[in-house]
Each structure stands twice: as structure tokens, then as C-alpha cells.
Amino acid sequence: MALIVQKYGGTSVANPERIRNVARRVARYKAMGHQVVVVVSAMSGETNRLIGLAKEIMPDPDPRELDVMVSTGEQVTIGMTALALMELGIKAKSYTGTQVKILTDNAFNKARILNIDEHNLKSDLADGYVCVVAGFQGVDANGNITTLGRGGSDTTGVALAAALGADECQIYTDVDGVYTTDPRLVPEARRLDKITFEEMLELASQGSKVLQIRSVEFAGKYKVKLRVLSSFDEDGDGTLITFEEDSKDDSMEEPIISGIAFNRDEAKITILGVPDKPGIAYQILGPVADANIDVDMIIQNVGADGTTDFTFTVHKNEMNKALSLLRDKVQGHIQAREINGDDKIAKVSVVGVGMRSHVGIASQMFRTLAEEGINIQMISTSEIKIAVVIDEKYMELAVRVLHKAFELEAK
């Protein structure tokens, strides 16, 4: 007997028939003698619909109230899933994040999980129940409803698996595993039987939405056995996230690059003519961090005239907030020439642990983009990743030509 956490995404619970389908799969696992905890997302489109409603009332919705609204999507699907299980004669009980007590910090809309009280779930499991837990939501120390950021149900699933000491966390979605890149963009993309945790972390952090990055972080920290599978297939092993790089090397033909991620969600902020002196980076990024705005890439170039141009990227949703935060300071004590924002950018990244032992990956990437006339605006690298910022309109082309250049297609 194993304890398995199964997370089902929005398309997998999009209507009553699909929820019945989820219940049938859960029933099969129960019949095998396993204990099952189910985590569900809202029906696909529902979270966007709720955000839209909030914005009709207040264009930039108050974060606390937005969480009160968007968390309702998952409250509907836990009830429906529990009902569907009962209809199959299976004991089931639904739980909101508050009812479990998934304790988070109070960063509304992007809260972090601090602790999960696993006692009630454990005793219900022992009594033969399937526990159906709402993804994406938690509760802060003051009892406020919080949400974990878009795609956050993945994180609920993995965090629950960690807290319960589950044998496996299965992420059921609308593709049958992790591919070399988004198969919706590149139909030739190839499914990976396994991928290392490090690569998955890079792909997720570079924008591959198949798993929310925090879910991968949790899996790494607590060594949760994590698998991505399709909820529409009866069988198939999906993609296993592995912790040993060695396990990948069973074939000499293992590619150097495992995958390509892309992200249209970032915007670029550039401050021109910044005096080149100590403390400037802090003066610019300090207030941004204080406002809880995440910064991704940063570059700075010193020009001949003793000033520098300072560029960084933030989430598109936070560009205006960052701009208004810095505008006064730029003209004031920072004494820079001007500040501007550009949200027509995209980031494309190639990821692979094989890069460590191979030189020339960057030059191959840059040559491939140059051959298509695609200008690179920013570059950032890690041991296993090279990321570039380009004009948004070339993003799809860039992903396709890189996928081909690195020979990632299905054989």
C-alpha cells in the first residue's frame, strides 16, 4: 500500500464528465489498496474569469479581496470531485486550504507555504477516506485566505506530498509529460521519460508552465518523487523528475540540451545615464525589493562618459508599479537621465545539465538566432542554462529554430 498525491489541473476538471473521469482514476488507485489525496485546480478558465470580474470593479484589485474571489474556483471543484467519488461508492471528504490549515505568509496573490497541518488528513486517510484538497489556496496566521500564484495547485500537491511523506506525487495535466519544449508551439517536441530535478527547476523558472517553479523547489527540498502525466490517457508513465544526473546517462546519445523554455510575462525597465558610483544598484533595486517585486535579469554597462545604463526585468504585471516607484528617485537622488519600460519582450532559454561539460553552446545559440536576424537584448547564463531576451514578435521563431538547431525533435 502506498500513499499517493494526485493533482489534477484545470482542463482535467473542466466539466462534470471530466471530474467523473478523475474519480474513476482515483477509484482504480483505491482498488489497488493505495491511500489517495487528490488536489484539484479550478475548472479551466475559471480563475481568469474571476480575475476579470474583480477588474471590472477595480482595475488594479486589492490583493486580499482578489484572493477571496479567486480561491472560490477550487472550492467548487473539491466539492464536485468529492461528490463524484461518493457516486462511485468511495468515502471522500473535501478540504479548503483553511480547513487543512495550509499556513502561508500574508503575501496575497503570491503567498508562500510555511506549514501544513497533516493531522486531519492522516486520520481521514486511516479511516479510508479520499481527501480532496483545494489547490492554490492557503490561510495566513490571521485567518485571511491567500493564494499561491498562478499555477499554484502544483505547489499544493507537492507540498502536501512532502508533509504527508507520500510515496509519489502525480501531476495530471493535458499533456502526457514534460517535453523538450511546449508541444503546442513546436509539434515536433519530444516527450522526456525523465528529467533531472535541476533541469526541471531551470525550465520552470524560465517560464515552462507545465510545473509551477515552487512545486519543483518543494520536490527538491523534500525529495518528493514527482511525475507528470496525462489525465486523458489510461496508461503511460509520463515524465519522472529524477534526482541523480547519472540516471540520465544510460545512453551515449543523451542530448546536451534537454529543453527550451520561453516566457512572455516579463517586462524590461531601463534607466539611462546613471552616475557610475557605489550604491547605485542598491538605490535602484532596494525600493523594488521592498515593494515585494521580483527582479529576474539584471545588466549594467559602464559607458565612456562615466555613466551607466542599468536594465532589469520584472513581471509584466508589476512594470508600472516599479516604474512609478522609481520615477521620482531617478530624477531625484539617483540623478539619472531617464527611465523607461518595455513590455514587448520575451525570454527564450536553453537548458541542459550536459552544458556543463560542453563548450560552444552559447555560440551555437547566438549563431542560430543571428541567422534569423533576431537581435539579442539581454543575456544571462547559469551552469545549465543560457537565456536571452528578444523582441516578443520573434519568440516563436526563436524557439522553433533553436529546437531544430539542438536536434531536439522526436526521432
Binding site for ligand ASP (CB under 6 A): 9-10, 41-42, 47, 73, 135-136, 150-154
Locus of grid cell 499533456: 175
Stretch that binds ligand ADP, among 54-62, 193-201, 208-216, 388-396 (CB under 6 A): 208-216
Q: Return the closest-CA partner of residue 397 out of 205, 294, 262.
A: 262
Close Cβ partners of 72 (under 8 Å, ≥ 6 residues apart): 50
Q: Which does 181 bind (CB under 5 to 8 A by kind): Mg ion, ligand ASP, ligand ADP, none?
A: ligand ADP
**Closest CB to ligand ADP among residues 178, 322:** 178
Stretch that binds ligand ADP, among 67-75, 175-183, 383-391, 397-405 (CB under 6 A): 175-183
Asked if residue 240 lies in contact with residue 226, where contact means CB atoms within 8 angstroms, the answer is yes
Show the cell assigned to 83: 461528490
Residue ranges of alpha helices (H) inside 91-222 are 97-100, 119-126, 153-164, 197-205, 213-222
- Is 73 a binder of ligand ADP (CB under 6 A)? no
Show the cell assigned to 135: 489547490
| Residue 16 parent element (H or E) | helix 16-31
Q: What is the 3-state secondary structure (H, E, C) of 308-356?
A: EEEEEEEEHHHHHHHHHHHHHHHHCCCCCCEEEEECCEEEEEEECHHHH
Exactly one of 157, 238, 259, 352 binds ligand ADP (CB under 6 A); which one?
259
- Is 178 a binder of ligand ADP (CB under 6 A)? yes
Stretch that binds ligand ADP, among 179-187, 281-289, 313-321, 356-364 (CB under 6 A): 179-187
The burial class, CB within 10 Å (0-12 / 13-18 / 19+), for 367 is: exposed
Which residue, judged by CB position, is nearest to ligand ADP in the bound state?
A: 9
Radius of gyration of the chain (CA): 23
Least distance in Å: CB of 156 to Mg ion? 11
- Is 77 a binder of ligand ADP (CB under 6 A)? no
Q: Which does 20 bind (CB under 5 to 8 A by kind): ligand ADP, ligand ASP, Mg ion, none?
A: none
- Type of residue at 360: G
Q: Which does 184 bind (CB under 5 to 8 A by kind): ligand ASP, ligand ADP, Mg ion, none?
A: ligand ADP
Q: Which does 150 bind (CB under 5 to 8 A by kind): ligand ADP, ligand ASP, Mg ion, none?
A: ligand ASP
Exactly one of 43, 90, 201, 210 binds ligand ADP (CB under 6 A); which one?
210
Task: Name the site residues for ligand ADP (rule: CB under 6 A).
Answer: 9-12, 41, 151, 173-175, 178-179, 181-184, 208-210, 259
